């Protein structure tokens, strides 16, 4: 299987690997079997592996130009990806009762929500920014489909998760979220710990280093 067939197979696998574990019964069973930390670790590793396959498949699909390859657009990922890394690690480092994440040990404090003051969905916002940045820098049809779906998935996910949580939490939703936002320009309170910034910088450096050997394309303009 090559070309568009491989791309569509990778895309379907990626979507199913996120849709099936998101079902409450399946997610509850997996957490019961693996533990919360084990579930998130396994979910993250599988997601990254399938994502890598999908990106490679998109790069090998037949080229159909949608967005002209302007040199200026090659800078967009370099400017956005440090923010993406910071958001993703900050989101993983906390207890988040409203969205993905939840590896932190400190209980969620609704009076001091940290990064959730800026967004209740830091990992989904990171995914959306990553997708938009790479869509602009890789304007072929396969990449527009790929990154456009990711951006739409992240945006729709924020809305649907908020609606579901509001329904499940009832009156507690308003109390717990009064100092949070789906997406806003408000600064976190408190700001993430220093190690989050260091880990984000290391993650960005690692992505720069691995992009060429793994993806096959240099991220530098």
pTM: predicted TM-score of the whole model, two decimal places: 0.83
Round the average pLDDT of the chain to a whole number and report it. 89
- Asked if 179 contacts 113 with a C-beta cutoff of 8 angstroms, the reply is yes
**pLDDT above 60 (res 69):** yes
Angle, vertex CA 59, rays to CA 54 and CA 62, nearest 5: 115
Residue 28 has pLDDT above 80, yes or no: no
Residues above pLDDT 70, as percent of the chain: 98
Taking the domains of the chain in order of start, what are their residue ranges?
A: 1-62, 64-221
Cis ω on the peptide bond leading into residue 199 (within 30° of 0)?
no
Q: Quick check: 1 pLDDT over 60? A: no
pLDDT, tens only, 94-118: 999 999 867 788 889 999 999 999 9
């Amino acid at each position: 299987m090559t070309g568009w067939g491989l791309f569509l197979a990778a895309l379907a696998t990626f979507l199913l690997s996120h849709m099936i574990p998101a079902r409450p019964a399946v997610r509850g069973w997996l957490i019961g079997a693996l533990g919360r930390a084990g579930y998130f670790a396994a979910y993250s590793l599988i997601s990254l592996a399938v994502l890598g396959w999908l990106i490679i498949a998109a790069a090998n699909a037949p080229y159909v130009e949608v967005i002209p390859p302007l040199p200026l657009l090659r800078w967009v990922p370099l400017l956005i990806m440090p923010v993406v890394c910071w958001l993703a690690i900050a989101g993983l480092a906390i207890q988040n009762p409203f969205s993905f994440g939840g590896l932190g040990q400190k209980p969620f404090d609704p009076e001091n929500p940290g990064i959730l003051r800026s967004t209740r969905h830091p990992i989904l916002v990171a995914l959306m920014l990553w997708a938009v940045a790479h869509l602009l820098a890789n304007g072929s049809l396969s990449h527009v489909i790929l990154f456009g779906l990711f951006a739409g998935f992240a945006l729709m996910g924020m809305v649907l998760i908020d609606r579901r949580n509001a329904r499940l939490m009832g009156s507690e939703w308003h109390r717990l979220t009064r100092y949070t936002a789906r997406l806003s320009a408000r600064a976190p309170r408190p700001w993430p710990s220093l190690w989050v910034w260091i880990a984000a910088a290391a993650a960005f450096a690692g992505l720069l280093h691995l992009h060429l050997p793994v993806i096959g394309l240099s991220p530098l303009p």
